[in-house]
Each structure stands twice: as C-alpha cells, then as structure tokens.
Amino acid sequence: MKKHYSLFALTFLLIISCSKSDNPSLENRQELFLSKIESVVKNNTLEITDTFNFVYDEDNYLIRYDYQASNMFNYSKTLTYSNGQLATLDDFTISIDNDLITLTSDNSKQEYYVENNKIIQYKWYHFEQSSSSYFLYVTTNLTFDNNFQNVIKTEHFNSKGELIQYSNFEYDDKNNPFSNFINIFNLSVNIIGTAFNSKNNITRVEVFELSGFGGFGIPSIGTYSYTYNNSNYPKSLDYNFNGFNAKSNYIYK
C-alpha cells in the first residue's frame, strides 16, 4: 500500500491510496473510496433524485466529480495535480503559503487557514468590478473536539464581522468516507461541508439562525441515521432536516 501526500493533506487528512496491483478485498480494506452517492430528497411538495459520481486516477487521486439532480440541472468539476499536489479545481488556481491555502478565480477568492492539518477558518470573497478588488462577504470559524478529529461547532460571520449563524454537531464512531478524498470546493458555508473536515459521520446538528429581532431563536435540528458495511463505512443514510427527508446509498470502488 502506497501513501501519497497531496497539497490538501495539509488541510484535511492523509490520503492513503492503493495501487491497482495492491488492492485488498472490500471487506479487508481500511480505506474505501466513494464511487457514487444516490439520493432521493423530498418534502411534502417536492421530490428530487440526485447522484454524485466520483472519478479517480490510478493512484486514487480524485480527478473529477459529477452531479445530476433529476432532470433539472447538473454540473461537473475537474481537479488537476502537479507533483502530487492539487493545482487547479475547475476555474480556481491554488496557492499555498505556510498555513494559508488560497483558491482564486476571476469572480471569487477563497482563503483556508490550517492548524494541525485541519481547516480552522475560511473566508470567501467576491470580486467587485467597480473597485477591481475582492470583497469579503463571509467568514467561517470551525471548532474541533479535544482530539482534533471532528468539527463540533461552526460560526458564520458576515462582512461586518457579525455572527449570523452557528451550528453544533454530534458524530458516530465510524469511518467518514469523505475523509478519503479531498474536495475543498464543497467545504462551503453549509452543513454538508463540515463532513469533509471530520473523521467520523455526523449524526445530529443544531443550526441557530440570527432572527429579525437581533437574537438567535429555536434551532433547526437535523438527524442522520446510517447503516454500515463490514469496513464500518456508511452504506445508507436517512437524513431529516426542516421538513426535508433524504435517503442515500453509498457505493464504493
């Protein structure tokens, strides 16, 4: 088994990959790589079937992922590497300066601050044509547990530095499949993005939104229930949040 250290091993976790000639059986492998996630998301009035497909090179580096939501829309993202380090992500170019990773495109910029190989803060900027400069519009802080394994809290601040949302997370003790590949593009200011920065799988989230009265009201609750395969990776997920239910199946290569 070969170990490869990519650029984002500095940000998330080690990517441990196996060569084609050294692939143990599914039951005995410690690291499994997602091939597909199939989901049905619905509430009282809407039902969407969506699919994520993940494509890897021969060394198990993620090089493309595709998304299809029923017949409504789809997109594809491509990743390229240079000397074992992630160099581009779709239209973003990537640079690293000690513990700061920057993704830059013509329209936006993202800054990720790293500690102990985990992202602890990220800032998103929008490019303003009038001033020919980037304008900060959201900052997110991530708080980890005592072992620095899982994100237990996120805090989102607007451009004025005002707290507008925070979330608390709970986890199982099983393997998180997202930790086996690097996908910084989806580490966004939503709940799902937290999964890419944690060792285990989220089982519960409380989301507190700033109300119109200037305070934080009753939280929205999300619950996650899994079944697992013999390698202790999720095989299926039943997710409920704010009247939405999602049932997902995980397929591994």
CATH of the domain at 200: 2.40.160
Task: Tell which wins on pLDDT, 93 or 203.
Answer: 203
Q: How many domains does the chain have?
A: 1
What is the C-alpha separation between 150 and 123, in angstroms, rounded?
A: 20
pTM of the model: 0.80
Q: Return the C-alpha torsion angle 211, 212, 214, 217, nearest 10.
A: -30
pLDDT surpasses 70 at 9: no
* Sequence letter at residue 56: Y
19: pLDDT confidence band, cut at 50, 70 and 90?
very low
pLDDT for 14 equals 22
Task: Tell me the per-residue pLDDT of 98-140, one tens digit each, with 9 for 90 and over.
Answer: 888 898 999 999 898 988 878 899 999 999 888 889 999 999 9
141: pLDDT confidence band, cut at 50, 70 and 90?
very high
Tokens of 75: 């997109």
Tokens of 145: 């547990």
pLDDT surpasses 90 at 235: yes
pLDDT for 191 equals 35
| Residue 39 domain boundaries | 2-252
pLDDT for 116 equals 80
Q: Do the bridges between strand 133-144 and strand 92-97 make them parallel or antiparallel, or are there none, so unpaired? A: unpaired
Residue at token pair 């936006």: 108
Share of the chain above pLDDT 70, in %: 79
Residue at token pair 């997370």: 169
Task: Tell me the per-residue pLDDT of 160-182, one tens digit each, with 9 for 90 and over.
Answer: 999 999 999 999 999 998 877 64
